């Protein structure tokens, strides 16, 4: 049968519970627990161990926080880029009733590939097109 002091020492030094958790578990004051664990010669070593553990946990949490913050920033930046492109496209498409070839190419960006030797954008024929879609658009 363990004495109360032995239980406290086991919970603190071997199970690494906090003083608050031990006091709740055994229903005794935290001041009494602190008094007992400070009399043990392993106290300084345990205190340093917990300090290092806390430091490592903080480092991991900090890195996780920074990564999450960067990811949120990246998403917001992508959203703002797409939003500005949408605003620009809206302005270009609403200027007149006639849609220029350049505006059409910007609007259907994935359908045109740039040919540097001819300095023009060429329509991807694998997509299939109607007669009024320009086959190529000269670079300005």
pLDDT, tens digit, 9 for 90 and up, residues 16-68: 999 999 999 999 999 999 999 999 899 999 999 999 999 999 999 999 999 99
- Surface-to-core class of residue 138, CB atoms within 10 Å of its CB (0-12 exposed, 13-18 middle, 19+ buried): exposed
pLDDT at position 121 is: 85
Tokens at 44, concatenated: 């300084």
- Calculate ∠ Cα 89-93-94, nearest 5°: 115
Residue extents of the structural domains in the chain: 98-140
Mean pLDDT score, 98-118: 79
Distance CA 51, CA 45 (A): 10
Contact 42, 9 (CB under 8 A): no
Q: In sequence order, what are the residues at sequence separation of 6 or more whose Cβ sits closer than 8 angstroms to the Cβ of residue 23?
A: 29, 30, 33
Mean pLDDT of 96-101: 69
Instruction: Dump the DSSP string for 104-130.
Output: HHHHTGGGEEEETTTTEEEE-GGG---
Query: What is the C-alpha separation between 27 and 59, in angstroms, rounded?
Result: 34
pTM of structure:
0.49
For residue 9 the two structure tokens come to 């020492």
Mean pLDDT for the stretch of residues 111-124: 85
Higher pLDDT, 34 or 121: 34
Scanning the structure block, which residue is given the tokens 């906090």?
18
Give the least confident one: 24-33, 57-66, 97-106, 116-125: 97-106
Instruction: For the sheet with 136-138, list strands across it.
Output: 112-115, 120-123, 136-138
């Amino acid at each position: 049968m363990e004495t109360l002091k032995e239980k406290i020492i086991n919970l603190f030094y071997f199970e690494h519970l906090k003083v608050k958790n031990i006091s709740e578990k055994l229903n005794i004051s935290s001041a009494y627990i602190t008094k007992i664990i400070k009399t043990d010669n392993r106290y300084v070593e345990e205190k340093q161990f917990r300090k290092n553990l806390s430091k490592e946990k903080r480092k991991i949490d900090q890195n996780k926080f920074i990564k999450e913050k960067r990811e949120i920033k990246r998403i917001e930046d992508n959203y703002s880029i797409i939003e500005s492109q949408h605003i620009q496209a809206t302005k270009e498409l609403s200027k007149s009733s006639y849609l220029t070839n350049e505006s059409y190419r910007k609007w259907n960006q994935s359908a045109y590939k740039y040919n540097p030797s001819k300095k023009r954008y060429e329509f991807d024929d694998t997509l299939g097109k109607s007669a009024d879609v320009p086959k190529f658009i000269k670079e300005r």
